[in-house]
Chains A and B, each alone.
Chain A
Amino acid sequence: MPEKLIDLKNITKRYDENVVLDDFSLYIRENEFVTLLGPSGCGKTTTLRIIGGFEKPDSGTVLFQNKDITDLPPNKRELNTVFQKYALFPHMTIADNIAFGLRIHKKSDAYIRDKISYALKLVNLEGYENRMPESLSGGQQQRIAIARAIVNEPKVLLLDEPLGALDLKLRQDMQYELIRLKNELGITFVYVTHDQEEALTMSDTIVVMNQGYIQQIGTPTDIYNEPQNAFVADFIGDSNIVSGIMIRDKLVEILGARFDCVDTGFGENRPVDVVIRPEDIDLVDPKDGTIEGVVTDVIFKGVHYEMCVMSNGFEWIVHSTDCFPVDTHVGIHVDPFDIQIMHKPESEDEKAVAVDE
């Protein structure tokens, strides 16, 4: 296990009376691609800015390689940031932008020249040295912003929603580009986004945040398949979240029907939240299903159909490659291991979290 590179301990940050981070702790290991994921206002950007040194926490410490850097200004930190709106210096050429950090650190001209061409090659923008930032497209500017950061060979690259301003196709291309870069450079990426797909595609570890609290930390697979609460489930992908009662281990009652599941340890006759992903629902002949329903809506989505199925007053979202026309009576069947049981939120905070989305 690689050691902790960055360690945030008990960070609290307020803006006026607004608590953005509350006793927040998180560590990041070397060579990890960590994504902070959450809706706007969840504190993810603040976390990043505290790591970068642009904000000072009201309390708590930031350790970098076990050294306290809480009070260190940004220019003394061995990490670099790629800003949301690129933040290129508009009065400098691309080459001067990239060379900025190197010149500050008084590198030789030859070294700087090599670095510029290396970095431009890395981001596939060779020959752009003498252009001005404004003449570049958004995607190109973003790549220059990355190049400008990585030529300084930081131990960590902080990326603040770097793809937020790009269109869909470009965003997808850049995702692969970033993964490639990460692998070539072999450094730590801390990535902030509100786009769950982006997070799932690129990360080694995802930190789901809401209202200044960490909701879940895990690999993309963990987060997707086994959300620990309704917020995570809802925020990551489409989900059917329905109230149920845990009759006993491995048996849950939803909408009056009993489903087999694999979860244990919830006690008997306890109210729970049940999460079922739309693609995990099989529509079958009414008599073969655990519960019956009527198709109320069908939309063709390309790779699959999205259907709404009404049963006992609950509207299921179902993804399937088979099409069932509207008004068809169907049965619903879910494999036991596709049923995810979660505790009902208990604290006020958790409730707020659930209501928020």
Chain B
Amino acid sequence: MNKKSRLLTGPYLIWSIGFIIIPLFIVLFEAFTGDNGLFTLKYVTDITWFVNLKSLGLSLVFSFISTALCLLLAYPLAMILAEFGKGRSSITVLVFILPMWMNSLLRTIAWQNILERNGVINGMLTALHLPALYIINKPPAIVLGMVYDFLPFMVLPIYNAVSRIDRDVINAARDLGANGVQTLFRVIWPMSLPGVISGITMVFVPSLTTFVISDILGGGKILLIGNIIEQMFTQDSDWHAGSGLSVVLMIFIVISMIIEEKYDSDQTTVTKRERRTN
């Protein structure tokens, strides 16, 4: 592999400048200029409008809650999978990844059926003479949709991190007198932290920016910041305003990237890669 082989990077370099860097600059440009082409901060500061601010707030609250729930559900799951999967084939893990092979929009739509007033859950509840559950088109349904859609992104990196922990390190903790709980909090948890951080960003960013889940499970009653940006582009064709809000959104994404970068190592790159894979 001589130096001439460097040229092989050329096409990708041009590609990434053309399709990654320049588009982002166009967004920045649109965000900071008005219809007259002059510099303005108007569109970026549009975020302070009540409606926009409220949606951003809602998005943040929902994504925090769903990220926390994902972590809470995924961690034990990842531990159990790592334990059961050990030595055996990884079929158990596969079973938990398989749902990702069905179109995610469809799976989200299916939750409509399950949660509807005359849906699957309420059908069962009424059969059992229990009070019906009305969460469709309400915040809990959206959070549920987020947790459902993004849970695998949390499980995979944590599973990878946990299963990479040398069995003997855990044995060493037990050997030194730590009971199960102490081992979990003093050894397993801190060692799986890169996976956890990776999982958190993998769940947090898409839940913060989704417009699909709120559309499908919110009954149009709940606007997230993603919905507003989407509408600005597809309905208002107001690219300045849409870009302005996108730039604000990017600030949050950059913050989460920086947090992740602090834990960055090859390990996180690997888990990142595994984020959506199977």
| B191 located at the interface, meaning its Cβ lies under 8 Å from any Cβ of chain A in the complex | yes
B177 touches A52 (CB 8 A): no
B176 touches A85 (CB 8 A): no
A80 contacts across to B, CB distance below 8 A:
175-176
| A91 located at the interface, meaning its Cβ lies under 8 Å from any Cβ of chain B in the complex | yes
A87 touches B172 (CB 8 A): yes
- Which of B175, B177, B187, B193 meets A89, CB within 8 Å? B187
B175 touches A91 (CB 8 A): no
| B178 located at the interface, meaning its Cβ lies under 8 Å from any Cβ of chain A in the complex | yes
Given contacts A89-B191, A100-B186, contact A54 B176 (CB under 8 A): no
- Which of B168, B182, B190, B191 meets A104, CB within 8 Å? B182
* Cα distance A26–B137 in the bound complex, in angstroms: 69
Cβ contacts B32-57/A at 8 Å (1 or 0 each): 00000000000000000000000000
| B248 located at the interface, meaning its Cβ lies under 8 Å from any Cβ of chain A in the complex | no
A40 contacts across to B, CB distance below 8 A:
none
Instruction: Decide if the interface of chain B is mainly helix, strand, loop or mixed.
Output: helix
Interface members, chain A 39-86 (any B CB < 8 Å): 52-54, 73-75, 77, 80-81, 83-85
A54 contacts across to B, CB distance below 8 A:
171, 174-175
Residue of B whose beta carbon sits closest to that of A83: B168
Interface members, chain B 157-212 (any A CB < 8 Å): 166, 168-169, 171-179, 182, 186-187, 190-191, 193
Given contacts A75-B177, A75-B179, A148-B176, contact A89 B171 (CB under 8 A): no
Q: List 22 A-B contacts (CB under 8 A).
A: A73-B179, A74-B171, A75-B176, A77-B175, A80-B175, A81-B171, A81-B172, A83-B168, A87-B171, A88-B172, A89-B187, A89-B191, A90-B191, A91-B191, A100-B173, A100-B186, A101-B178, A104-B177, A148-B172, A148-B176, A149-B176, A152-B176
A75 touches B187 (CB 8 A): no
How many chain B residues touch A (Cβ–Cβ < 8 Å)? Answer: 18
Closest CB in chain B relative to A270 CB, distance in Å: 48
A73 touches B182 (CB 8 A): no
| A105 located at the interface, meaning its Cβ lies under 8 Å from any Cβ of chain B in the complex | yes
A91 touches B176 (CB 8 A): no
B191 contacts across to A, CB distance below 8 A:
89-91
* Cα distance A16–B166 in the bound complex, in angstroms: 22
Give the interface residue-count category, chain A.
Answer: 20 to 34
Task: Give the interface of A toward B (CB within 8 A).
Answer: 52-54, 73-75, 77, 80-81, 83-85, 87-92, 100-101, 104-105, 148-149, 152
Closest CB in chain A relative to B100 CB, distance in Å: 31
* Cα distance A53–B175 in the bound complex, in angstroms: 8
Residue of A whose beta carbon sits closest to that of B165: A90
* Cα distance A16–B179 in the bound complex, in angstroms: 28
* Cα distance A73–B166 in the bound complex, in angstroms: 19
A74-B171, A75-B174, A152-B177 provided; 5 other pairs, C-beta below 8 A?
Answer: A52-B171, A54-B174, A74-B175, A85-B166, A101-B177
B176 touches A87 (CB 8 A): no
- Which of A52, A89, A149 meets B173, CB within 8 Å? A89
Residue of A whose beta carbon sits closest to that of B179: A75
Interface members, chain B 21-78 (any A CB < 8 Å): none
A75 contacts across to B, CB distance below 8 A:
174-179
Given contacts A89-B187, A91-B190, contact A101 B171 (CB under 8 A): no
* Cα distance A100–B191 in the bound complex, in angstroms: 15
A100 touches B174 (CB 8 A): no
B173 contacts across to A, CB distance below 8 A:
89, 100
Closest CB in chain A relative to B179 CB, distance in Å: 5
A89 contacts across to B, CB distance below 8 A:
169, 172-173, 187, 191
B169 contacts across to A, CB distance below 8 A:
87-90
Residue of B whose beta carbon sits closest to that of A90: B191
Closest CB pairs A-B (n = 5): A101-B176, A87-B168, A74-B174, A87-B172, A104-B177
Residue of A whose beta carbon sits closest to that of B192: A91
Residue of A whose beta carbon sits closest to that of B182: A104
* Cα distance A73–B173 in the bound complex, in angstroms: 12
* Cα distance A77–B186 in the bound complex, in angstroms: 20
Closest CB in chain B relative to A53 CB, distance in Å: 8
- Which of A83, A88, A100, A104 meets B171, CB within 8 Å? A83
A100 contacts across to B, CB distance below 8 A:
173, 176, 178, 186
A73 contacts across to B, CB distance below 8 A:
174, 179
Closest CB in chain A relative to B115 CB, distance in Å: 41
* Cα distance A90–B193 in the bound complex, in angstroms: 12
A149 contacts across to B, CB distance below 8 A:
175-176
* Cα distance A87–B190 in the bound complex, in angstroms: 15
* Cα distance A105–B179 in the bound complex, in angstroms: 11
Closest CB in chain A relative to B276 CB, distance in Å: 27
Residue of B whose beta carbon sits closest to that of A77: B175
Closest CB in chain A relative to B73 CB, distance in Å: 24
B179 contacts across to A, CB distance below 8 A:
73, 75
* Cα distance A7–B49 in the bound complex, in angstroms: 77
B175 contacts across to A, CB distance below 8 A:
52-54, 74-75, 77, 80-81, 149
A53 contacts across to B, CB distance below 8 A:
174-175
Closest CB in chain B relative to A47 CB, distance in Å: 15
